[in-house]
Amino acid sequence: MRKGNKMTRTARSSLWLLALLVGTAMTLSACGGGGSADGGAKKVKLGVLLLGNGADDYLNLGFRVAANKAADEVGRDKVDLKFVSGVGYNPQATALTEQLFRQGTQVVVDNLSLQQLFYDACAKYPDRICQEEYTLGKVPENTSGFWWKFWQGYYLEGVAAGMLSKTGVIGYLASFKQNYENAHMNALALGCQSVNPDCKVKSVIINNWYDAAKSTSAAETLVNSGADVLAQFVDDTSSVVVARKMSTPSRPVWGFGLHLTQAKFGGDSYVTSMLTAAATQKEITLGLRAALKGEKPPKGPRVYGIGQGMSLGEWGPKVPKEVQDRVAGIEQEIADGKNVFVGPIYDSKGKLRVPEGESLTDKYMYASWDWRVRGVTGG
Amino acid sequence: MSWDLAHVSLIGAVLVAVPLLYAALGELITERVGVMNIGIEGVMSVGAAAGFIAAVKSHDPAVGLLVGTAVGGLFTLVFFALPVLVFRTSEILVGFAVWFIGLGASAQFGQSYAQEPLKAEIPTLKIPLLGAIPGIGDILFAQPWPYYAAVLMAVAVWFLLTHTAHGLNLRGVGDDPAASYGSGVPVLRWQLVYVSLGGALMGLGGAVVSVVLTQHWQSGLIAGRGWIALALVIFVGWRPLGLLWATYLFGILLTLEHVGQAEDWAIPAPILAMPPYLATVAILIVRGRRGHRLAPAALGTSFLRGGR
């Protein structure tokens, strides 16, 4: 009996302490959310779902910048902005989205492409506005998608890389094995081959958005394997940090950033970053304006390219003027509507995939590019 | 794969192994006094964030490593050692809580440093003569000092546990705390000290990731390395010197995943990612019952909770 009482007391003590510890963890995690909370009767409530911690990687930072600027654009006093971090690819994301709707949120932005998990919640609240990065398949009536024409940006990076590289080998850090990653590395190779026909792209898949230690190791391996320019589609700074670390006067290594400028990480090895926040701002502004008018935004998906809110950022201090000018010229041509993805384009096995006179469409490159062009190897 | 690529990859693998070595040594010390801290991932995360913040603020990576160590130890004392050893809570449940608290706390305090670069880095230290040995000199004797410190730490822990009376008593605490208590060993005090020291080494392992490897902070930076460290302790049968080869083997296997992709081996990337984990399962199976016999006999039991 006494033993039983003792166990009960111990168990109670354990539970109390555990609750305290877990509560502390949840509180600390939730603190990262941020955003204003001064609710006004006429305000539009905007909720932005952010992948993972949501505060410290470059895609999420870009969304924070974009949402705040969008709120400023339509009038800060008209928007009640809330960031929700810690969102993952699981059914809790659906419950979380529904919770936002129940709290009166009119516009919910999903930055992790939750797809069906997001659509399930949106379909239950047809009077609200759902905006999702990278939609696929059938979406509810109130849901519109958006994306960036990364292939245009990587083509430009490829041109710069081709001019900067001495080895003719470009390293690429891919997040996951997806068709959109094929589009990125293919565009990188095609841009590079427009300068140096023998240019090669070596790719390593990280299988994560956030594993800076792994992507750092992968970037080092790529440099050891012959690459002297690093590009990436992961949410960290490994490409520019490793370029700086491994660069020597006799063998310079260059690195590209993504989403926001990463100049201060790359030093003299920094080339530039592909900036996406202005396009995100456009999209969120569209949703906010529609909500303020009690309407729906035009049906998507909208894919923002060069000249439409996506651009290359500032140049690194050591990038030659000749490179900057040439890339700026092509950037302007793309902004004016030129399609640089024209045949002949061969795949990695030498088969002609796009004959001369034909070109690849944005729709194809958005999700369907399931082969790799000549010169692209790796994971 | 060319010899040059293999050579430079082996150099890189050594550095990849260093945080694992520190963290696994921390867990080994913890388990040797009979306590299992499964919250390594959380402690490493806190050490990584604290170390990075200190390195940015002081412009000195060495300060970052020291702070990461101290914060790892303090965090472990407050959130793990005291609840488990003094408040008599379940070490498994509290270990899980430490994991989440560490992730949350590091994310909260580290987030404003995500866009801060480190202004200085720890240089490579080439040992005279040894560093010039063809083939292995660059791999084993031309690394940043945290690598040498980790190796010395493993040797020191081995010496302490196997060649000193204090070490014998320490192992006694992990094997038979009742007998140790009876012979006058202050079991609780030693457990508090060594569990916290173990946490300090885990914090140092985390700081090595952010300050030496990535030179960048973001949440989730540890990305499962704490769990690998936990497995490695069992993998080597609680032997400190075994961690030297085991962590290096894991460093090689982790690096191989990237080398295979970069060199376009005809093996799919997901398959290339499997060897470290397959190796863990394989060795645990091979060890079988013998592995259990190598564990501290009183690991995970709660003698003092009722008997003090």
Angle at A279 between CA A274 and CA A283, to 5 degrees: 155
Task: Tell me chain A's radius of gyration from C-alpha atoms.
Answer: 23
A318: left (phi over 0), alpha (psi -120 to 50) or beta: alpha
CA pair distance B169, B180, nearest whole angstrom: 7
Select the more confidently predicted residue: A11 or A321: A321
The confidence score (pLDDT) of residue B289 equals 63
Checking if the pLDDT of A324 tops 70, the result is yes
Select the more confidently predicted residue: B279 or A310: A310
Span B69-126, pLDDT tens digits? 999 999 999 999 999 999 889 999 999 999 999 999 998 898 888 888 898 889 999 9
pLDDT category at B303 given cuts 50, 70, 90 is low
To test the contact with chain A by mutation, choose from B11, B43, B212, B218 the residue with the greatest count of A C-beta atoms within 10 A, namely B218
CB contact under 8 A, B261 and A379: yes
Once rounded to an integer, what is the mean pLDDT over residues B51-71?
97
Lowest mean per-residue pLDDT among A280-289, B83-92, B192-201, B270-279:
B270-279
Of B101, B107, B223, the CB nearest to A24: B101
The confidence score (pLDDT) of residue B296 equals 87
Token digits for B123? 């240089």
By C-alpha distance, which of B105, B180, B262 is closest to A201? Answer: B262
- Chain A residue with minimum CA distance to B265: A378
Of B108, B214, B270, the CB nearest to A32: B108
CB contact under 8 A, A204 and B225: no
Task: Tell me chain B's radius of gyration from C-alpha atoms.
Answer: 19
Q: Which residues of A touch B12 (CB under 8 A)?
A: 217, 220-221, 224
The CA–CA distances, whole Å, from B274 to A216, B221, B257, B267 equal 19, 20, 8, 11
Once rounded to an integer, what is the mean pLDDT over residues A182-196?
97
Torsion sign (Cα): A226, A231, A234, A238: positive
- Chain A residue with minimum CA distance to B100: A25
Work out the minimum CA distance from B259 to partner chain A, whole angstroms.
6
The total number of residues written for chain B in this structure: 308
Work out the minimum CA distance from B98 to partner chain A, whole angstroms.
8
Residue A82, strand partner residues? A47
Checking if the pLDDT of A20 tops 80, the result is no
Query: Of all residues in chain A, what percent are helix, strand and coil, respectively (each to 5)?
Result: 45, 20, 35
Q: Which residues of B touch A225 (CB under 8 A)?
A: 5, 259, 262-263
Of B5, B88, B93, the CB nearest to A224: B5
pLDDT category at B286 given cuts 50, 70, 90 is confident
Q: Does B124 touch chain A (CB under 8 A)?
A: no
Helix extents (H) in A249-350:
263-266, 277-293, 321-335
What percent of chain A stands above pLDDT 90? Answer: 77
To test the contact with chain B by mutation, choose from A14, A56, A228 the residue with the greatest count of B C-beta atoms within 10 A, namely A56
Select the more confidently predicted residue: A11 or A188: A188
Checking if the pLDDT of A6 tops 50, the result is no
Work out the minimum CA distance from B42 to partner chain A, whole angstroms.
11
- Chain B residue with minimum CA distance to A219: B258
Sheet strands (E) in A141-248: 143-148, 169-174, 200-205, 229-232
DSSP states of A65-116? HHHHHHHHHH-GGGEEEEEEEEE-SSHHHHHHHHHHHHTT--EEEESS--TH
What percent of chain A stands above pLDDT 70? Answer: 88
Q: Does B5 touch chain A (CB under 8 A)?
A: yes
Q: Quote the DSSP letter at residue A358.
A: -
CB contact under 8 A, A56 and B111: yes
Q: Does B93 touch chain A (CB under 8 A)?
A: yes
List of residues 6+ apart from A107 with CB closer than 8 A: A44, A45, A46, A47, A128, A129, A130, A131, A284, A287, A288, A291
**Surface of B (287-306) touching A: CB under 8 A:** 305-306
Crossing angle for the helix pair B187-207 and B3-32, to the nearest 10 degrees: 160
pLDDT category at A330 given cuts 50, 70, 90 is very high
CA pair distance B302, B49, nearest whole angstrom: 32
Sheet strands (E) in B104-185: 124-126, 142-144
Q: How many CB atoms lie within 10 A of CB B69?
A: 26
- Chain A residue with minimum CA distance to B305: A10
CB contact under 8 A, A237 and B221: no
- Share the mean pLDDT of chain A: 88
CB contact under 8 A, B83 and A21: yes
CB contact under 8 A, A21 and B263: no
pLDDT category at A244 given cuts 50, 70, 90 is very high
The confidence score (pLDDT) of residue B288 equals 67
Q: Which residues of B touch A171 (CB under 8 A)?
A: 262
- Chain A residue with minimum CA distance to B13: A217
Select the more confidently predicted residue: B282 or B304: B282
Compute φ and ψ for A202, nearest 5 degrees. Answer: -105, 130
Q: Does B131 touch chain A (CB under 8 A)?
A: no
Of B93, B254, B305, the CB nearest to A217: B254
The confidence score (pLDDT) of residue B290 equals 65
Burial of A329 (0-12, 13-18, 19+ CB in 10 A): exposed
CA pair distance A268, A316, nearest whole angstrom: 6
The confidence score (pLDDT) of residue A127 equals 94
Once rounded to an integer, what is the mean pLDDT over residues A265-272?
96
Of B111, B115, B264, the CB nearest to A32: B111
The confidence score (pLDDT) of residue A3 equals 40
The answer to whether the beta carbons of residues B174 and B31 sit under 8 Å apart is: yes
The confidence score (pLDDT) of residue A272 equals 98
The confidence score (pLDDT) of residue A40 equals 40
List of residues 6+ apart from A96 with CB closer than 8 A: A49, A84, A87
CB contact under 8 A, B262 and A221: yes
Span B5-30, pLDDT tens digits? 888 889 889 999 999 999 999 999 99
Checking if the pLDDT of A50 tops 70, the result is yes
Checking if the pLDDT of A10 tops 80, the result is no
pLDDT category at B61 given cuts 50, 70, 90 is very high
Annotate A351-368 with b (16+ C-beta within 10 A) or e (fewer): eebbeeeeebeeebbbbe
Lowest mean per-residue pLDDT among A311-325, B139-153, B197-211, B212-226:
B212-226
The CA–CA distances, whole Å, from B158 to A182, B105, B196 equal 49, 33, 18
Compute φ and ψ for B39, nearest 5 degrees. Answer: -90, 25
The answer to whether the beta carbons of residues A85 and A52 sit under 8 Å apart is: yes
- Chain A residue with minimum CA distance to B7: A224
Q: Does B186 touch chain A (CB under 8 A)?
A: no
The confidence score (pLDDT) of residue B294 equals 78
ipTM score = 0.84
Q: Which residues of A touch B272 (CB under 8 A)?
A: 379
- Share the mean pLDDT of chain B: 91
For tokens 């608290």, what's the residue?
B101
**Surface of B (244-283) touching A: CB under 8 A:** 254-255, 258-264, 268-270, 272-273
By C-alpha distance, which of A40, A57, A82 is closest to A284? Answer: A82
To test the contact with chain A by mutation, choose from B5, B15, B214, B308 the residue with the greatest count of A C-beta atoms within 10 A, namely B214
By C-alpha distance, which of A358, A355, A360 is closest to A370? Answer: A360
pLDDT category at A86 given cuts 50, 70, 90 is confident
The confidence score (pLDDT) of residue A32 equals 38
Once rounded to an integer, what is the mean pLDDT over residues A32-42?
42
Checking if the pLDDT of A122 tops 90, the result is yes
Lowest mean per-residue pLDDT among B76-85, B240-249, B279-288:
B279-288
